[in-house]
Amino acid sequence: MEHKIVVIPGDGIGGEIVEAALRVLQAAANQSNISLSLQEYYAGGAALDRYEEPLPQETVQAAKQADAVLLGAVGGPQWDGVAPELRPERAILGLRQELGLYANLRPVRVIPSLASYSPVKEEVVSGVDILIVRELNGGIYFGEKGTEGDKAWDVEMYSRPEIERIAEVAFQAAKGRHRQVTSVDKANVLASSRLWRATVMEAAKAHPDISLNHYYVDNFAMQLILAPAQFDVVVTNNLFGDILSDAAAVLAGSIGMLPSASVGRETSLYEPIHGSAPEIAGQGIANPLGTILSAAMLLDYSLQKPEAARAVEQAVEDVLAAGYRTQDIYRPGTTKVSTAEMGRLVEEKLNELAK
């Protein structure tokens, strides 16, 4: 059977990191005897330049019919002046909405050979293995917006079914991990957070094997830096999840390391959590590992090849342990490699592991 993968390189470093990740994905597919049909589409600034819209229908339709979507990154300063509804970011938000990608999974794992790379002390970040489950289809991102004279507003609203759905994702994920869910909200101030907390507590009753605790987002932000190893699965709303996942990335040593999966009813989208890094685009120095690890999540969730996913993760760890580094994680005594070289090294290691 052939698996249809829609590939959206996007803008900035998107093309370079996706190319490196495809090399690894293709090698993993070959090893698992699955065939991939890769189809490239435009979104973001690249689409804006070509079609005068950031998310062409063609891209949406192809994505809807795909088994999975692999995305690089979108955006860049050359589109800073465009109208809000044409901004490259609209492509990502549009895909999340149109594909119903309601659950964003952002694993934050500290790879042993990078444990000393975080500005947070090594003994604090060692062993960190957190899965942030971010609600991705609701909240303030998609609530009513308005501007009137010198006022502007964005409404934060959640419905019980939306909260139940994302809580369920968190509880299910916890079953394959350490069976602990932390729900993050601002229930001391926000009505939407009070509904969030009550609904998560109610949903937890169906999962007596999972332990659940609750944090206010301000305290959680502090705990995430002070003692991150205490957390397993973290479930939170769209905005808090956006902010907290960038903060959590600091623990992993570089935001370039972190992958994500946005899971929907029919298809899922995989992308690194970092942006398009226009300042280093075209130089071949971007870190492709976040995208490579996103491809591993694709193998795991969309192609049901967990062994292949684990092999890619192992290959990444081994290449880092052997001292190869892109510029963002380079230190004297390690070997600096380009984006493409990093992709080839992981591919080679993957092939070696399969022997």
Binding positions for ligand IPM, rule: CB under 6 A? 89, 92-93, 242, 273
Active site residue 242: yes
Check binding of 242 to Mn ion (CB under 5 A). Answer: yes
Active site residue 246: yes
Instruction: Report which residue's Cβ sits closest to ligand IPM.
Output: 89
CA–CA gap between residue 1 and residue 87 (Å, rounded): 37
Which residue lies nearer to Mn ion by CB, 248 or 346?
248
> Residue 190 binds what, of ligand IPM, Mn ion, none (CB under 5 to 8 Å, by partner type)?
none
Relative to beta strand 35-40, strand 2-10 is parallel
> How far apart are CB 126 and ligand IPM at their closest, in Å?
26
Q: Of residues 141, 215, 270, 324, which has the active-site annotation?
A: 141
| CB-based burial label for 199 (10 Å; 0-12, 13-18, 19+) | buried
Which residue lies nearer to ligand IPM by CB, 74 or 200?
74
CA–CA gap between residue 92 and residue 43 (Å, rounded): 8
> Residue 89 binds what, of ligand IPM, Mn ion, none (CB under 5 to 8 Å, by partner type)?
ligand IPM
Active site residue 158: no
Check binding of 271 to Mn ion (CB under 5 A). Answer: no
> How far apart are CB 91 and ligand IPM at their closest, in Å?
9
CA–CA gap between residue 118 and residue 56 (Å, rounded): 39
Q: Which residues contact 1 (CB under 8 A, 6 or more apart)?
A: 34, 35
Active site residue 102: no
User: At which residue do the structure tokens 């952002």 appear?
Assistant: 106
Which residue lies nearer to ligand IPM by CB, 91 or 329?
91
CB 304 within 8 Å of CB 313: no
Q: Of residues 64, 129, 216, 246, which has the active-site annotation?
A: 246
Task: Tell me how many helices (H) and strands (E) the chain has.
Answer: 12, 14
Q: Which residues contact Mn ion by CB under 5 A?
A: 242
Instruction: Supply the residues annotated as catalytic.
Output: 141, 186, 218, 242, 246
